[in-house]
Amino acid sequence: MRRLALVLVVLVTLGALVHAVENFRGQRAWNRYRQDAEARGLKLDYAAHIPAPIPDNENGANTPFIQYWFPKPRPDETNQWPVNYNEATRLITIKRRTKGSGAQDDRFFTDLVAWQQAFAQRQEADKKHAKKIELDSHDPNRNTEEQAKAALMVLEELKVYEPALAELRAMSSRRQVRYPINYKTEEPFFLVPHLAKLKEIVQVLNLRACAELASGQTNEAFETVKLMLWVSDSMEEEPFIFSQLVRIASRQIALQSVWEGLARHQWTEAQLKELQERMLRTDFVSRLETCLSGERAFGIATVQWMQKSKKRGEAMALFSAPEGGDADGALWAKNLAAWLIPKGWFYFEMVSIGQCMDQMTTGAWDVSAQRIHPRVVEENDRHLVEKFQRWPMDALWNHYTFARRLLPALARASWRSARAQSTAQQAALACALERHRLALGQYPDSLDALVPQFLVKIPHEVVSTNAMRYTKTANGFTLWSVGWDGKDDNGAFLRAAKGEVPELGDWVWQSAP
């Protein structure tokens, strides 16, 4: 018994010594990284990324309709936001002319006749009597008259949304928006029920704007487009990547009705100028950098929370369980590990998150030039993927267990940001080209003719230093930029890609279907 007691004393002493040494080493490594990062201007404090409060009388989110979403949607939420659109959209299947992931670049007019039919059948959806409406994206059988007639019926169906939209319209004069998210600094997790709802609002508004354009209500459509852009950009100041991605998706939806107004030559000079200026102010590249800085701080704050948590084992089980696995299945092991692991190892994990984010973002973009470098992004991403796919014990020994779970997918976020920035620039150019046509009766032979009367300078491609590409066609024009692959396909639409590249082909804006 004396020998056993001596062994236990030795083991406890060694354990305490290991903990003391690792705690010292970990805290020293973290302090060094923090000092270096702050010297580079990085904000590692999670609280520093939380949007500042806005007075109620200046906050665009201070409306009962929006406040109703928080802290989480209630079971009777449909009383506030009808389900008409969702029920109708489930009945429509579109067969696109161009196949592949980027077929949305091949724009076409919204088939309002199909929407009218879908709204008429939606009552039967739950009874399984409703029929799917299959349509070709470029149906030549839809004439202007029947589209205009269907548009009026669609607008009638969308009137049910007017009470909620009226609240948003009243708030849209306020430029500052802060949604009532409870950013808990002591526990860095929060609910974001507004993101999906804002995207759906933009979808409804886009259908409404397209119907207003088809029925000749151009001024009403322009006001709807402005409300769409306000809703889309209301997420701009949120410091996390998922807000950025929802904002990008919403803005891309909103540009459909902008394109339809351009294709029909309906926008006035004043409206075109306002839309052009709005598009030129768009900066998804700097927001990408800001959001990733917020993600870094969020990841570090998450590890700090686990370090201090009284339920550290449960927290570790949640974040280190295999994807799709059961975190509770090995909870006892996590609780034991949480007791054995030195607190200093959490400091090493915080350093790892920061260093991995440094590796992800180094040389990936130039904010001042609004340029993203795809090959650098891919190379950075490849190195991290190789690191994260090593033997599992390597992640534990080298302290990047949580970095593998908490860091966002940089390549996809960068690609989406680059494409959205390119589309915004093309929309601005399309407005300038239409202004040229209104003033001089035709589109110019080159983009240089737009300067300086209609444009201060020609925007360059987001993924290169070249100017945006343009060709005048018999029916209008085609604008394009090289896509993520960096190759000029002479305005060819996107097509599905294989391998590491997200897509192949150019990013294209055509003046007509």
Q: Which of 210, 217, 206, 267 is nearest to 432 (CA)?
A: 267
Question: Helices (H) and strands (E) in the chain — how many of each?
Answer: 18, 7
**Is 65 within a domain?**
yes
Per residue in 123-165, pLDDT tens?
A: 765 555 556 676 655 555 568 888 999 999 999 999 999 999 9
End position of a domain, from candidates 409, 441, 473: 409
**Is 198 within a domain?**
yes
End position of a domain, from candidates 393, 409, 425: 409
- pLDDT of 191: 76
Domain check: are 196 and 343 in the same one? no
Domain check: are 236 and 311 in the same one? no
- Written as six digits, the tokens of 12 are 């406890």
Which residue is it, tokens 């354990």? 15
Domain check: are 31 and 133 in the same one? no
- pLDDT of 420: 94
**Is 140 within a domain?**
yes
End position of a domain, from candidates 385, 409, 433: 409
Domain check: are 129 and 259 in the same one? yes
Instruction: Give the domain range for residue 128.
Output: 58-266
Pairing of strands 371-372, 476-481: unpaired
- pLDDT of 99: 47
**Is 436 within a domain?**
no
Burial profile 2-23: b = 16 or more Cβ within 10 angstroms, e = fewer = eeeeeeeeeeeeeeeeebeebb
Domain check: are 223 and 79 in the same one? yes
Domain check: are 71 and 152 in the same one? yes
Per residue in 112-123, pLDDT tens?
A: 988 998 888 877
Q: Kind and range of the H or E element at 329?
A: none
Domain check: are 82 and 204 in the same one? yes
Is the preceding peptide bond at 71 cis, omega within 30 degrees of 0?
Answer: yes
Domain check: are 192 and 255 in the same one? yes
- pLDDT of 499: 52
Ranges under pLDDT 50 in the chain:
98-104, 322-329, 500
Domain check: are 236 and 321 in the same one? no
Which residue is it, tokens 């896509």? 483
The total number of structural domains in the chain stands at 2
**Is 442 within a domain?**
no
Question: Residues of the chain with pLDDT > 70: what percent?
Answer: 83
**Is 511 within a domain?**
no
- pLDDT of 406: 76
Neighbouring CB atoms inside 10 A of 366's CB total 12
**Is 21 within a domain?**
no
**Is 45 within a domain?**
yes
Radius of gyration of the chain (CA): 27
Domain check: are 259 and 334 in the same one? no
State the Cα–Cα distance between residues 17 and 434, nearest whole angstrom. 74
Cβ(255)–Cβ(426) under 8 Å? Answer: no
DSSP 157-193: HHGGGHHHHHHHHHHTT--B--------SSS-----T
Average pLDDT, the chain: 84
Domain check: are 162 and 210 in the same one? yes
